[in-house]
Every structure is written in C-alpha cells, then in structure tokens.
Structure 1
Amino acid sequence: MEIQEFEHFIKPIIKNGDKFVSYECKRLLQPGENYGSIMLEVTIKLTNKDGKEESIHCVAKACPPVGFLWDIFNTKVTFKKEIELYNTIVPTLNDFGREHGIDKLIDFIAESKCARISLDPNSTEVDENALLLLENLKLEGYTTGDRFIGFDLESTQLLLRDLATMHSSMIAFRSAKPEFFEKKMLPYLDRHLLKEFPEDVQREAVNKVLTVLKTMPECVPYLSKVEDKILNMFVAINNPPKTNEIFTTITHNDFWVNNTMLKYVNGKPISNKIVDFQIIEHSSLANDLVFFLYSSVELSVLENDIENLLEYYYNHFISSLKKLGTDVTPYSYPAFLEECILVGKSIQWTHVVFMLSPIMTLKGKVKELADLEMTDLLVDETSLHDNYNKKLKFILLDSVKRGWF
C-alpha cells in the first residue's frame, strides 16, 4: 500500500539534522483480525547528520476501504475521536495524575507519533487519506492474545486493573474539574448512532444463533427472548437506558482480545497496552466490563472466577478513585452490581453475542476488507472455532443467572 505524501506527514517525528530516505510498509494483521481499519507495519529509513542510516518502526492505522464499514464505524466521526484520545484526553489525565503524585496515571495506552484526517491541512473532514501513526508495540515485546481461547486468570486481572484505572481517572477528573471536562473532554466522547443492518441481515444473524442454541436443551426456554434481543439490537444500542450517572466515564466500547496487547516475562504478564479507541464515548463503565468478560476471558476462568473478577475490578476502581481524591461513598458494591445488570440486559448481552461470531471465525475464512460485504460478517457454522458453541451456551446461561439477559 502506498501512503500519499508520507514524507510530509512524518515531519513532526524527524529529529533535527535527520533526512528522510524511504519507507516500507506491509500489512500488520490478517483478514478477520480487524474490521474497522487497515493496519500497516511501517519502517521509516533516515540518515542522521553524520550520514549513518537509522530506522523508525511504527504502525499506521488507515481508514477501511469499504463503504459499509465506514457506516458501521462512523469513520468520519470516530477517526477524529481516536486522534483526540491521544492528543488531548490521555495527556490531560496524566497531568491530573501528577497533581496527585502519580507519575504516569495512564501508562497502558500506546504512544501516538503523528496524525492527519486529510491531505488538505485546512480540511475538517476525514477522508480516505486519514492516517494515525503509533509506536510498534510488537518490537517492545507486546503480543495479542488468542481470540479463540481468551485470557487466563492472571492476564485478565492485569487487564481489569488497567480498565478500572481508565474508568476511575475520568470520573475523578470530571468530579474535580467539571467545567474543564465539559468544554475540553466531553466533545470527544459524544455518542454516535450506529446505522442499522438491513432487516434480512439481522434475521440471518438471529437464525444462525438460534440454530446453535436449539441443540442445547438448557437454552431452548430462552430462544424467543434471544430472537427478540438480536432483532432489536440496534434499537437498544441507539437508545441506551438511563444508568446511574456516577458510573458514567470514558468507555472503549470494543475492549476485547484483539484490542489489547500484553507483555510477558517468564510467562507472567507484566504490562498491557490498550489499542483501537475509535468508538470511545461517555457511557457506563459496565459497557466495557460486561463485554470484555464475556468476549475475551477463558471459559474455564469465567466458570470458576467471574464473581471474583467483578469484585477484583471494583476494588481497583475504588482504590484508584481514592488515590485521585474522590469521595467513594456513593460507589457501593451493590450499586455497581446493579449497574452491570442494567447494562448487561439492555445492551451488552446482545453486543457480545453478535460479536462472538466474528471473534470465533477461523483464520483464513474472512475475505480481504476491500472485498467484504455485510453478509460476510455472518459466517457459516463450519467456519467457526469449536469454542463458539461452548462460549455461546455459557454466555446465555450465566447471563440469565446474573440478570444480564
């Protein structure tokens, strides 16, 4: 892929005296690993003032090539939001952390090097030449988990700590500096409505899920409600319920295996970097939590530890609020669980069930983004990993038990 006017684009990251020589780029991810953007591995070759050649290794994020994907991800809006996450939100929260003696409050988000929304510097509209350049986390030892299996207990706990910090930091900032939040932060966290899939696509999605659940006697009593929820998914997402305002914060809204990377030492997770912030918004923290647990955690961990994981997240959330000088009295554990119930049954159960199919689609079974059609998101059962049926069954029965369905 050729990147237009690349030399001009990277001027902000070229040090004094260095000269641009060339660049090389290749695809970073295979089809099926990401739908909302094109991800490229980029090597920039420079010469310094002594004539010695140097290289900068980055990842470039570009807009998807297909029209309907622009609609699904609302790219004209969300690409700008992601840029401002790196340029405004993260630096502001880190400054806030330093005010409370925390050197780097948000240390789990990749570094952005430069960005543009168009080749035209005066444009305010995102176009096909929009580009975001990030550090290459793979070269720092970060890896993506296995989306077919999910994270083990120790990795899940690390991710929940970071998620709790991200959520609590915005709540604490909003509480301490409400006017600044309203003027400088909230505009980048606006809700954006999702365009509904055509009725026949929604019906096909329902049929594929029901076909699997019909083979499981324990799930049969819930088939009618499953059908209703999926058919009304977009209505629910675009008309979210009124939740407890105290739990409203910055949410990732697509926090699953492929959107976070972990570094391991001797098999132990030591740090994490969250990526892909294009659909961030100001909403309930339970949106991220419920979706992450069901979509991205190893089934054996969920079966044995989900209660402990909810409490683990909550304890770190409260601890972080305290460190940032926030009164935690209103944030009781029962109120937190009620928030999870409300969000789970109104939005996130359907979200995770719909996303389970693309998450579990076998490698090599997804078309290139340029050839992708909307119906390709609904793959045949033969193209799904064996864990799909097991995970779907657990999600339904466990959510019934918790009131998330």
Structure 2
Amino acid sequence: MEIQNFEQFIKPILKNGDKFVSYECNRLLPPGENYGSIMLEVKINIRNKNGEQETINCVGKSCPPPGFLWEMFNTKVTFKKEIELYNTIIPILNDFGREHGIDKLIDFVADSKCARISLDPNSTEVDENAILLLENLKLEGYTTGDRFIGFDLESTEILLRDLATMHASVIALKLAKPEVFEKKILPYLDKHFLQEFPEDVQKESVNKILTAYKTMPECVPYLPKVEDILVDMFVNINNPPKTNEIFTTLTHNDFWVNNTMLKYVNGKPVSNKIVDFQIIEHSSLANDLVFFLYSSVELSIVENNLDNLLKYYYNCFISTLTKLGGDVSPYSYEALLEEFIHVGKSVQWTHVAYMLLPLMTLKGKVKDLADLELNDILVDEASLHDNYYKKLKFILLDFIKRGWF
C-alpha cells in the first residue's frame, strides 16, 4: 500500500540529522477486526546523523474507502476528532494532572507521531489522503483480546480502572476549569455518527435479532417488547435519553475488545492502551461502562461478578475525582445505579444487541472494506460464533432482572 507524499508527511517525527530512506506499508488487520478505518503496519527506514540505519515502527490509521462506511462513520468529522484527542485533549488532561501531582494522568493512550487530514496543508476537509501515525503497541508487548470470549477478571479490572480515570479526569477538569473544557474539549465531542439507516436495513436488523430470540424459550414472552425497543432505537436515534448531567463526560462510545490492548507479564495483565477514538462524545459515562461489560467481558465473569465490577469502577472513579480536587458529594453509588437504568433502557441494550453481530462474526466471513455494504454486517447464522446466542440471551434476561429493560 502507498501513502502519498510520505517523506514530507513524516518530517515532524525525524530528529535533527535524521534522513528518510524508505518505508514499508502493509495492512495490519484483516476484514472484520475494524470497520471505521483501515489499519496499517508502517515501517520507516531512516539514517541517523551518525550514518547508521534505524527503523521507526508505527501503526497507521487511514480513512475507510468511500461509500457507506465513510458516511456511516461521518469520516470528514470523526477523523478530525481522533486527531484532536491526541493533539489537544490528552495534553490538556495531562497538564491538569501535573497540577495535582500526577505525572501522567492519561497513561493508557498510545503516543501519536503525526497526522494530516489532506495532502493540501491549507485544507480543512478530510479526504482520502488523511492519515494518523501512532506508536506500534504490538512491538511494546500489547495485544488485543479474544472478541469471541472476552476479558478475564484481572484484565477487566485494569480496563475499568482506566475507563474510570478517563471519565473522572474530564469531569474534574470541567468542574475546575469550565472555560477550558468548553473552548478546547467540548467542540470535539459533538455527536457525529450515522443518524439514519435505510428502512430495509432496519427491518432486517430487527428480524435477525427477533429470529434468534425465538429459539430461546425463556425469552419468547418478551418478544413484543423486544421488537418495540429495537424499532424505537431507529426512530429515536436522534433523541438520546435525558441523563444526569453530573455524569456527562468524554465517552469513547465504542469501547469493546478490539479497541483496547493489554500487556501481560508472566501471564498477568499489567497495563492497557485504549485505541480508536473516532466517535468520542459528551455523554453519560454509563454508556461506555454498560456497553463494555456486556459486550467484551467473559460471560461467566459478568454473570457472577457484575455488581462487584460496577462497584470497582465506582471506587476508581471517586478516587481519581478526589485526587483532582473534584467535589465527590453528588456522586453517590446509588446515583450511578440510577444512571444505568436510564442508559440501559433507552440505549445500551440495543447497542449491545446490534453490535453482537459484527463482534461475533467468525474470522474470514467479512468482505474487504472496499467491497463491504451495510447489509453485509448482518451475516447469516453459519457465520456467527456459538457465543453469540449465549450472550444475546444473557443480555436480555439480565437487563430485565436489573430493571434496565
């Protein structure tokens, strides 16, 4: 694969005296592992000031091919969002952390090398030559989890800690420096995702999930309500539920197995890096939390430890907010549980139910992004992992049990 004007593009990452020699660029992920962008493995060969050859290893993120994915992810807007997350938002949060004695508050995000939205340096529009270069986390020992199985308990706790830190940091900044938040962070947190789906896709999506539930006797009594909620999701996609303002923060909105990477030492998880910030928003922290737990954690862990995991997240959230000087008195655990009721009923059950289809699609069953159409995400039964049906059943019955449905 070729990146246009590559030598000019990487000038910001070359040290004094370094000379560009060549580069190699290949696809990093197969189809089905990422939909919102094309992920690239980029090796940059340079000659340093001593005449020695070195290699800089990066991961490149480029736009999806023109077509429905470009429109679905509103790439012209969301690609800029991710760049500003690295260039503006993370530095502001880390500066804020240092003011409170925390050397690197946000240490769970990859380092950005350089980025552009177009070959034209004066352009304000994202085009097909947009690209973002990040550190290659795999070479640092980070790996993605198994999307068919999900994370174990130790890994889940690390991920919840980092998610709570991200959420609490933005809330603390918003409380302490509202003008900084409103002028330098909030402009990048508008909702900019596909807000309309073709009618045939809506019907097929609803029927796909209803058909699966009809095979589960325990779920059959709830089918009328399931259908109503699935249909309402499309009708009310532009009308998010009213939630408690105190819990609104920077949300990832796509926090699942493939969008975070863990490093293990002697089989134990020790650190994590969150990736893929294209569709960040200013919304309820419960959106990230509920979606992650039900989509990306081992089923047995969620079945037996969900309440403990919610409490663990809450304690990490309060700890970070306290360290950053925030008033924790409004943030009771009971208030957080109430937030889950609003978000679960209106948003996250449908989010998980629909996302389980691409999440559980077997490897090798997805077309290349250049050939992919929206209907192709609604794969047939033979293309789904067995755990699809187990998770689909669990999310309905557990949401009902908790009063979130």
- How far is the alpha carbon of 1:184 from its aligned partner? 1.1
Other structure's SS at 2:123 match: coil
Q: Which amino acid aligns with 1:256?
A: W
Other structure's SS at 2:236 match: helix
Other structure's SS at 1:269 match: strand
Distance in 2, matches of 1:117 and 1:30, equals 24
Distance in 2, matches of 1:242 and 1:263, equals 37
Note if contact 1:42-1:57 (Cα within 8 Å) is conserved in structure 2.
Answer: yes
TM-score w.r.t. the length of structure 2 is 0.99
2:92 alignment counterpart? 92
Q: Which amino acid aligns with 1:199?
A: E
1:298 alignment counterpart? 298
- Deviation string, structure 1 residues 133-181 (Cα, Å, up to 9, x no partner): 0000000000000000000011000000000000000000000001111
2:195 alignment counterpart? 195
After TM superposition, the structure 1 stretch with the greater mean CA deviation from structure 2, 328-337 or 192-201, is 192-201
Q: Which amino acid aligns with 2:259?
A: N
- Count of residues paired in the alignment: 405
Q: Which amino acid aligns with 1:251?
A: T
Identity of aligned residues (%): 81
Note if contact 1:78-1:279 (Cα within 8 Å) is conserved in structure 2.
Answer: yes
- How far is the alpha carbon of 1:234 from its aligned partner? 3.2
1:311 aligns with 2:306: no
Note if contact 1:38-1:62 (Cα within 8 Å) is conserved in structure 2.
Answer: yes
Note if contact 1:66-1:372 (Cα within 8 Å) is conserved in structure 2.
Answer: no
After TM superposition, the structure 1 stretch with the greater mean CA deviation from structure 2, 307-316 or 252-261, is 307-316
Other structure's SS at 2:168 match: helix
- How far is the alpha carbon of 1:193 from its aligned partner? 4.9
1:61 alignment counterpart? 61
- How far is the alpha carbon of 1:194 from its aligned partner? 2.2
Give RMSD over aligned pairs. Answer: 0.8
Q: Which amino acid aligns with 1:400?
A: I
For residues 1-400 of structure 1, the aligned pairs below 5 Å read: 1-400=1-400
Distance in 2, matches of 1:6 and 1:168, equals 38
Note if contact 1:193-1:238 (Cα within 8 Å) is conserved in structure 2.
Answer: no
Unaligned runs of 5+ in 2: none
Q: Which amino acid aligns with 1:176?
A: A
Distance in 2, matches of 1:237 and 1:151, equals 29
Distance in 2, matches of 1:362 and 1:250, equals 32
Distance in 2, matches of 1:234 and 1:347, equals 11
Note if contact 2:195-2:238 (Cα within 8 Å) is conserved in structure 1.
Answer: no
Distance in 2, matches of 1:98 and 1:269, equals 26
Note if contact 2:202-2:234 (Cα within 8 Å) is conserved in structure 1.
Answer: no
Q: Which amino acid aligns with 2:74?
A: N
Distance in 2, matches of 1:97 and 1:41, equals 32
- How far is the alpha carbon of 1:236 from its aligned partner? 3.3
Other structure's SS at 1:339 match: helix
Distance in 2, matches of 1:60 and 1:279, equals 18
Other structure's SS at 1:232 match: helix
Other structure's SS at 1:370 match: coil
Distance in 2, matches of 1:193 and 1:148, equals 25
- How far is the alpha carbon of 1:66 from its aligned partner? 3.6
Distance in 2, matches of 1:29 and 1:347, equals 29
- How far is the alpha carbon of 1:10 from its aligned partner? 0.3
Note if contact 1:194-1:238 (Cα within 8 Å) is conserved in structure 2.
Answer: no
- How far is the alpha carbon of 1:323 from its aligned partner? 0.6
Q: Which amino acid aligns with 2:68?
A: F
Distance in 1, matches of 2:331 and 2:3, equals 48
Distance in 2, matches of 1:207 and 1:234, equals 14
Other structure's SS at 2:20 match: strand
Other structure's SS at 1:45 match: strand
